[in-house]
Chains A and B, each alone.
Chain A
Amino acid sequence: MLKPNIVTAIYWIAVKTGAFERNGLDVVENPFPSGQTAAGIEQLMRGGIDFYLGASGEVAHANSRYIEAGKPPPIALIEGGVAGGSFFVLRDDLKGKTVDDLRGQPLRIGISNPSSYHLILLRAFLRDRGMTTDDLKWRFLTIGGPEMLPAIVSRQLDGFLHDALTTTLAIRAKVGFEFMSSDRGDMGERAKQLPGTGVCANRAFLHAHPEMAKRFTQSLRDASAAYSAAPRAEMVAIMSEWSRQDPAVIEDMYDRLDPRVGMTRQAAQTWWDILGAAMLARGEISPKLTVDDVFDLHYIGQDT
């Protein structure tokens, strides 16, 4: 999984609440740094890991290459988050501007990787308004999540597209504001319930170990239930430990992030309609790729 990264906090909640143990699993962590979403998918393809928490768009990219070659898709998204958790932060002095106001201005926007989920979501938002990122004339610069804040402080960036934690840090440091938030509906009403975090696995592994997949996803669902039931302070402490951030930061971030999983067939279709369509329009994925080539919700009892 991506670590340290707040979007994968549900894993640590599962560990700390004993969800994996209760489901008979002994999990070994294999962390990938922020932005290295492709590395996890590459490892899944090679069979180096069994499950991967973090990516969603990359699954479509990887599977599309196989579909184009006339081969079956190797990876499946088997579970996902319940909220988009995508934020577009801009420098404080750009407050009050709209996308149209900023169109054509030479803004430098940080993204954690070129196939960033947040960037795909922005492209989907623009596509609905008949625009592309090229029309904006902004520069999208690849930079690790932890470096986004120093970059905006030192004016190397005018904004960034990232998660709730980086957004909270920018707001706390009084260098940026929430220009757009998927959870607030700024990127479209349907984007509110978009599964931002993905749980993926190699399909060959899933066929060979279906019980393992069911127990793994059940563990994450148990952790989600524990999150809902537990006192806020307890979850703040767990997420603080996972993200290596001060509890006060996590407390500030708490209402911006829902780390729970709970993928549904409808959410998968929304993901496909919004993100899949944006990727298809840009030529990133094959027109032959279908929603079933990306998702396999069989293991959470939500057949696609």
Chain B
Amino acid sequence: MSSAREVERTSALPPIVRDDFARHVRSADRRLRLRRLLRGGAGVLVILIIWQLMSVWLDLELLLPPPLTVLRDLVVTLAVSDSHWLYGPNIYVHLWHSFLRAMAGFGSAAIIAIPLGLVLGRVVTIREFVMPSIKGVYPIPGIAWIPLAILWFGLGNAAVIFVVFATTFFPMLFSTEAGARQISPTIIDAGRCFGARGLSLFFRIVLPATVPYIITGLRISLGGAWRMIVAGEMLASQDGIGYFLMESRFQFKAADLMTAMILVAIVGYATEKLIVDTIEKRTLEKWEVQPS
């Protein structure tokens, strides 16, 4: 369904009819959002109830702490009020260090993968030379790079950043390459007819047409970055959310372990909203491209 703003902007109907229709669309939008919210909330509630019942009925409170225990643990952790904090710096320092490492790996992958993907998508000769090598390396899972990363970069930030890079690079590259490759020759020809050449053709036709694919690649990669940051920090770091997670395992504190997992989910979601949604909004609005 069209959005109310779109109706108001594009409709050729008389103003009175158009306003009525826009109101109707707005009301339908609200109902749709409310329905989604209620259904989503109900789904979460059902999961929480099943979780609580399993934990209590099956006497699994120490292996599967009930949601209320985890929530209490989460609050105590975020309030930095745990008198027996065993995990070095406070949780915000762990999250900040993980965030920096994730962004360093993700950002450096984006800087290389997106331009390279555009080139590979548009220049057949280079694609034929390069793609077989890239496809050969692609199946290696990110976690398999960890021992080599430790060997090359030592125990510390660089090794973790490298494995994040190795994990996030490929989805961005392949999405961008696919996006750049699928552009219809008709659109390119139309651009040329309007005088677009070289960089102007790239910035006015190729890049805008590829943006939805780049956004998809960024979204998939960012999720991968958070998955890999946890694995990397578990093996090659002394702080960060992965370290917190591993240490809580060795202390047999399942509630802390689940708190760490929830924090990864929250920060991962927030990062996606903050970074990918902002890029999506800015680029799609600027170039008036339909999201893929």
Spell out A's residues near B (CB within 8 Å): 37-38, 41, 45, 58, 61-62, 64-66, 69, 71, 108, 113-115, 139-143, 147, 150-151, 154, 156-157, 282-284
Contacts and interface: CB of A to CB of B under 8 A. Distances in A.
A283 B249 CA distance: 15
B247 A156 contact: no
A61 B155 contact: no
Contact of A147 (B62, B86, B150, B249): B150
Interface string B253-286: 1100000000000000000000000000000000
A62 B84 CA distance: 16
A142 B146 CA distance: 14
A148 B251 CA distance: 23
B203 interface: no
B129 interface: no
Nearest to B69: A69
A62 B86 CA distance: 15
B250 A114 contact: yes
Interface of B: 61-63, 83-86, 150-151, 154-155, 235-236, 238, 246-247, 249-254
Contact of A58 (B154, B236, B250): B250
B247 A61 contact: no
A114 B251 CA distance: 9
Contacts of B247: 114
27 contacts: A37-B250, A38-B249, A58-B252, A61-B250, A61-B252, A62-B252, A65-B254, A66-B62, A69-B61, A69-B62, A71-B62, A114-B247, A114-B251, A115-B250, A140-B238, A141-B238, A142-B235, A142-B238, A143-B155, A147-B150, A154-B151, A154-B154, A156-B155, A283-B86, A284-B84, A284-B86, A284-B251
Contacts of B62: 65-66, 69, 71
A108 B155 contact: yes
A154 B159 CA distance: 15
B238 A113 contact: no
Contacts of A45: 63
Contacts, number: 56
Contacts of B254: 65
Contacts of A114: 246-247, 250-251
B63 A139 contact: no
A71 B154 CA distance: 43
Contacts of A64: 252
Main secondary structure of the interface of B (DSSP, over half): loop
Nearest to B249: A38
Nearest to B233: A142
Contacts of A108: 155
Contacts of B251: 61, 114-115, 284
Contacts of A115: 250-251
Given A147-B150, A283-B86, A65 B250 contact: no
Given A140-B238, A283-B84, A65 B253 contact: yes
A38 B154 contact: no
Contacts of B235: 142
Given A38-B252, A58-B252, 18 more contacts: A41-B252, A65-B254, A69-B61, A108-B155, A115-B250, A141-B238, A142-B235, A147-B150, A150-B151, A151-B150, A151-B155, A154-B151, A154-B154, A156-B154, A157-B155, A282-B86, A284-B84, A284-B86
Given A156-B155, A284-B86, A65 B238 contact: no
Contacts of A157: 155
A64 B253 CA distance: 10
A282 B61 CA distance: 24
Nearest to B87: A114
A275 to B, nearest CB: 15
A157 B252 CA distance: 28
A283 B86 CA distance: 7
Contacts of B155: 108, 141, 143, 151, 156-157
A163 B80 CA distance: 36
A139 B252 contact: no
